[in-house]
């Protein structure tokens, strides 16, 4: 699709030819090219722009709370083709790296997802693991260790979710602060050698972490919403893929009116027109679940929510001698690999492993080797070759990938450098914000919005443990009358207000400046989702 002239910092539309994500190698036949109706609906109670984790769960919550709503979801490309379908395949709250109330919010988000997968038997390869955060900067490790100590003293319930592993005699880690309920075997494994990171300065282990197939999670949610149409439920859910939104416009109405289905949402005195190449949709409520692409529709956000390209490789595990008695390589944990000795904020990588028989290592990061660190890039049709070489060759320098790795032998393990063969290499567009927090709420007129326009976006690479409950919060706002007193479960730092916008612009540096200096990494690191 042709891209219009953009202002400085503004994102374009999602490109037609994105790199192929590992998670898109098994697409849903139901969703591929799906358009619930041949023609684009002319009106709707709510229009959702974007079909990733935010948009899909927002639709779920809307229909759960008000089944009679007529919802139209428009997606520029195929369903779940943006950041959710192109991420690192893991979900993990930042227990010690966020303010305690935000850590609690993220933990609730994680547990909601985990329980939903279990309740509905969602076939998304969810695997609960422990999350190992390996620090190769002593300075950064000591900072994070201090944060865990703070939790132990002031928030013991949160502290029970983490353990600190330090260098000890003969490879044995100092487990001060680790949960007392660990059995002996678990405590023995909690050494740097046992965690496959013998050369790290230290580690923090989180007990609540998971790897998953993110596209299949969202496909299940969307297919369930579509199935409700066939079951004769009230209202409707209409998914229109390959339908980019090119613009929004608002008109005041002469009289207040309720939405077409007669539901009990707030009264509306304006109407939004959603413009697409296939026609327009009139609606009183629009929710933008557009993450890094938000500024294309709201240019006023060009300095507040910046598209940033990340890159990931699916790597074949190193070859090992064939022995029927040997199980396949299983690294057992998910990993964050952060910091370098000379620069605490130079590296922010992440790793999960697919189950056998392929057992591919999904390794992402290396943004320090990308042009401009990927900041301001909204085109995911290509990859950065220097990042590709880094991802192929760096993992074995940080993680012990041997089949029989050292558990705690008293001798430091020796890592063997090996270049790994990729089966998939792809890029994806994240949305980085100046204060590293999402923007959730009504968009004020000063930012191109007005009554009825909502935004839930800008996760700074940490969307999986934030997006679902953020979507629930924005739905609660959308369905609440202006004069109603309803408690919204959302960290106040996430709420979209003009006061916050003014504060961010006055106090926080531009994303590109802060990212280049490492300032965005003060909360452990944004590239985590």
Q: Which of 430, 459, 485 is the last residue of a domain?
A: 430
Is residue 252 in some structural domain?
A: yes
Alpha-helix residue ranges (DSSP H) falling in 20-89 = 53-65
> What is the distance between the alpha carbons of residues 392 and 252, in angstroms, rounded to a whole number?
55
247 assigned to some structural domain: yes
Q: Please provide residue 347's backbone torsions phi and psi, each rounded to the nearest 5 degrees.
A: -125, 140
Percent of the chain with pLDDT over 90: 77
Both 202 and 149 in one domain: the answer is yes
478 domain-assigned? yes
What is the model's pLDDT at position 170?
A: 41
Sign of CA dihedral 510, 103, 333, 193: positive
Evaluate whether residue 512 is within a structural domain: no
Tokens of 64: 């759960």
Instruction: Output the domain CATH number for residue 469.
Output: 3.50.50.60
314 and 182 in a single domain? The answer is yes
Residue 508 covered by a domain: no
Q: How far is CA 92 from the centre of its chain?
A: 10
Verify that 330 and 415 share a domain, yes or no.
Answer: yes
The CA distance from 117 to 420, in Å, is: 32
* pLDDT tens digits for range 128-145: 999 999 999 999 999 999
Out of 397, 415, 430, pick the residue that ends a domain.
430
320 with 202, same domain: the answer is yes
Residue 172's pLDDT is 44
Q: Which two tokens stand for residue 26?
A: 């098994």
Give per-residue pLDDT as tens, 236-293. 999 999 999 999 999 987 555 444 455 444 556 789 999 999 999 999 999 999 999 9
Peptide bond just before 357 cis, omega within 30 deg: yes
Q: What is the pLDDT of residue 415?
A: 74
Q: Are residues 219 and 368 in the same domain?
A: no
Two structure tokens written together for 116: 């939903």
Half-sphere exposure of 451 (CA within 13 A, CB side): 16
Q: Are residues 267 and 403 in the same domain?
A: no
Q: What angle do CA 52, 53, 54 make, to 5 degrees?
A: 95
State the pLDDT at residue 208: 96
What CATH number is attached to the domain comprising 200? 3.30.9.10
384 part of a folded domain: yes
CB-neighbour burial class of residue 95 (10 A; exposed 0-12, middle 13-18, buried 19+): buried
Q: Please report the pLDDT score of residue 427 as a whole number.
A: 98
Q: How far apart are CA 194 and CA 349, in angstroms?
A: 20
Residues 316 and 362 grouped into a single domain: yes
Q: What is the count of structural domains for the chain?
A: 2
Q: Do 314 and 406 reside in the same domain of the chain?
A: yes
Q: What is the pLDDT of residue 189?
A: 65
DSSP, collapsed to helix, strand or coil, labels residue 184 as helix
Residue 521 within any structural domain of the chain:
no
> What does residue 395 show for φ and ψ, rounded to 5 degrees?
-60, -40
Give the per-residue pLDDT at 402. Answer: 87
Residue 260: its pLDDT value, please? Answer: 46
Q: Determine, yes or no, domain membership for 486.
A: yes
Domain end point (choices 430, 451, 483): 430
Q: Which two tokens stand for residue 455?
A: 């935004």
The residue segments making up the domain with residue 373 are 125-210+307-430
Q: Are residues 204 and 324 in the same domain?
A: yes
Residues 401 and 362 in one domain: yes
Are 313 and 191 part of one and the same domain? yes
Tens of pLDDT along the chain (529 residues) come to: 555 688 888 999 999 999 999 999 999 999 999 999 999 999 999 999 999 999 999 999 999 999 999 999 999 999 999 999 999 999 999 999 999 999 999 999 999 999 999 999 999 999 999 999 999 999 999 999 999 999 999 999 999 999 999 987 444 445 444 554 444 445 456 899 999 999 999 999 999 999 999 999 999 999 999 999 887 678 999 999 999 999 999 998 755 544 445 544 455 678 999 999 999 999 999 999 999 999 999 999 999 999 999 999 999 998 765 666 677 889 999 999 999 988 888 889 999 999 988 899 999 999 999 999 999 999 999 999 999 999 999 999 999 998 766 554 445 556 778 899 999 999 999 999 999 999 999 999 999 999 999 999 999 999 999 999 999 999 999 999 765 677 899 999 999 999 999 999 999 999 999 888 775 545 544 333 4
Residues 195 and 66 in one domain: no
């Amino acid at each position: 699709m042709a891209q219009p002239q953009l202002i400085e910092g503004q994102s374009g539309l999602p490109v037609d030819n994105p790199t192929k994500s590992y998670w898109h190698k098994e697409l849903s036949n139901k969703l591929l090219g799906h358009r619930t109706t041949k023609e684009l609906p002319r009106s709707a109670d709510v229009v959702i722009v974007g079909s990733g984790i935010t948009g899909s769960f927002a639709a779920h919550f809307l229909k759960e709370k008000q089944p009679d709503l007529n919802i139209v979801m428009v997606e520029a490309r195929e369903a779940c083709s943006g950041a959710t379908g192109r991420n690192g395949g893991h979900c993990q709250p930042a227990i010690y790296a966020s303010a305690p109330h935000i850590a609690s919010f993220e933990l609730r988000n994680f547990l909601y997802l985990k329980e939903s997968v279990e309740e509905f038997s969602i076939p998304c390869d969810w695997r609960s693991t422990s999350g190992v955060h390996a620090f190769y900067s002593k300075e950064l490790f000591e900072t994070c260790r201090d944060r865990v100590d703070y939790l132990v003293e002031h928030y013991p319930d949160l502290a029970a979710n983490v353990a600190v592993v330090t260098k000890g005699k003969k490879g044995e880690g100092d487990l001060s602060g680790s949960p007392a309920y660990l059995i002996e075997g678990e405590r023995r494994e909690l050494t740097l050698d046992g965690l496959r990171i013998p050369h790290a300065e230290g580690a923090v282990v989180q007990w609540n972490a998971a790897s998953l197939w993110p596209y299949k999670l969202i496909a299940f949610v969307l297919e369930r919403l579509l199935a409700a149409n066939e079951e004769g439920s009230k209202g409707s859910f209409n998914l229109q893929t390959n339908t980019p939104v090119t613009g929004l416009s608002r008109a005041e109405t002469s009289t207040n009116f309720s939405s077409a289905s007669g539901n009990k949402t707030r009264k509306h005195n304006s109407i939004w027109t959603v413009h697409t190449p296939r026609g327009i949709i009139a609606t009183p409520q629009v929710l933008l679940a557009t993450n890094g692409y938000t500024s294309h529709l709201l240019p006023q956000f060009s300095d507040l929510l910046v598209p940033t390209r990340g890159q990931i490789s699916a790597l074949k595990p190193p070859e090992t001698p064939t022995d029927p008695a040997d199980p396949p390589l299983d690294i057992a944990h998910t990993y964050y690999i952060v910091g370098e000795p000379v620069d605490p904020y130079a590296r922010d990588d992440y790793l999960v492993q697919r189950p056998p028989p392929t057992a591919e290592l999904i390794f992402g990061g290396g943004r320090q080797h990308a042009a401009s660190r990927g900041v301001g890039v909204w085109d995911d049709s290509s990859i950065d070759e220097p990042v590709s070489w880094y991802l192929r060759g760096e993992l074995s320098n940080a993680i012990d990938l041997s089949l029989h790795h050292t558990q705690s032998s008293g001798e430091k393990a020796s890592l063997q450098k090996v270049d790994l063969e990729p089966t998939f290499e792809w890029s994806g567009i994240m949305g980085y914000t100046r204060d590293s927090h999402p923007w959730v709420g009504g968009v004020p007129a000063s930012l191109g919005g007005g009554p009825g326009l909502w935004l839930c976006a800008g996760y700074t690479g940490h969307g999986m443990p934030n997006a679902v409950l953020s979507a629930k919060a924005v739905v609660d706002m959308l369905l609440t009358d202006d004069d109603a007193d309803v408690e919204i479960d959302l960290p106040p730092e996430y709420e979209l207000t003009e006061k916050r916008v003014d504060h961010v612009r006055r106090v926080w540096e531009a994303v590109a400046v802060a990212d280049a200096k490492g300032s965005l990494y003060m909360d452990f690191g944004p590239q985590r989702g």
